[in-house]
Amino acid sequence: MSTVFQERKRIILVVDTGVDDALALALAVRHPAIQLEAVLTSCGNVGLELATANTLRVLDWLGATDVAVIAGAECPLEASFVDAAYWHGVDGLGGAQLPASQRSALEDAPGYLVKRLLAEPGQITVVCTGPLTNLALALRRDVGIVSRVKDVVVMGGAVQMPGNTTPTAEYNIYADPEAAALVFNQDWPLTMVGLDVTQQVVLTADEVGRLAGETSPEAVLVREVTRDLLVVKGMESMALHDPLAVGVALDPTLVQTLSGQVRVETRGEYTRGQTVFDLRPRGPRPASNTRVCLQVDVSRFRRMFFNALGVFPEAG
């Protein structure tokens, strides 16, 4: 099954740039059907300063120097800041050797988001691949953005499987549960791209090994940001969590979903950050604009991702 895109999808990407955020940026920059409007940053995988610097480095390496970067939240709404440097490395990019950017980021990501969404109703999709703090702060400033956004796509959560940070919680939700609860409680079109589907789409060490000697910016980026995980740590593969969220924003038919309310646990001693979704086979669920991804067409997404980056065109 193929999808023909009639016009470019206008996306604002909200990141905490670590390894898979970098690959999501590459997909958003390189896919011909995506118009990347801006990138907003927050603390998450690493602190705000590093996340912002990493975002600028990746965009500049790909030649996307015209894409504005706007720095946002320095800390969660209420929680203590917990990074994911154990996974992404102390610099967030696994020690990737990419030149530092000569650009500076703008400031006030929540304010920027409010301004853009109110000015262009129904035109912009917001894709969040990090904690939801910036989006929550934007809601606090003007809840009118709920009716102005085209749709929201969130990489985060899990409903059918364990979390990846605690037994019940995925990192992006766990990092700021109060922000996530606020975002999921709105009546806007939201798609949750959680671990249920993201862990199914992987990049393998063997595939990256085949890029040895390749000199395209995309191949170098893939090699550099994955080296620590796939070579130094010796992992056989890594999940393409954040790129899949971008893929679903572009082509929702990549996934099968159920609609219903997602609740975020903010008070549980052992369940803080859990995303709760009722999977019981019963009568109709309460009407909700939230869609939860439960299955993914792995081959079709891999083709989208690799073709956009110009590597492994035969992948599927």
As a whole number of angstroms, the distance between CA 63 and CA 59 comes to 6
As a whole number of angstroms, the distance between CA 299 and CA 302 comes to 5
- Please tell me which residue in 57, 88, 148, 241 is annotated as part of the active site: 241
Name the DSSP letter for residue 228. Answer: I
Tokens of 152: 């929201």
What is the number of other CB atoms lying within 10 angstroms of the CB of residue 280? 6
Is the sign of the CA dihedral 177, 179, 180, 184 positive or negative?
A: positive
Buried b (16+ CB within 10 A) or exposed e, 120-151: eeeebbbbbbbbbbbbbbbbeebeebbebbbb
Which amino acid belongs to residue 118?
L
Task: Mention every residue, 6+ apart, whose C-beta is less than 8 A from residue 97.
Answer: 224
Note if 241 is an active site residue: yes
**Active-site residues: which are they?**
241
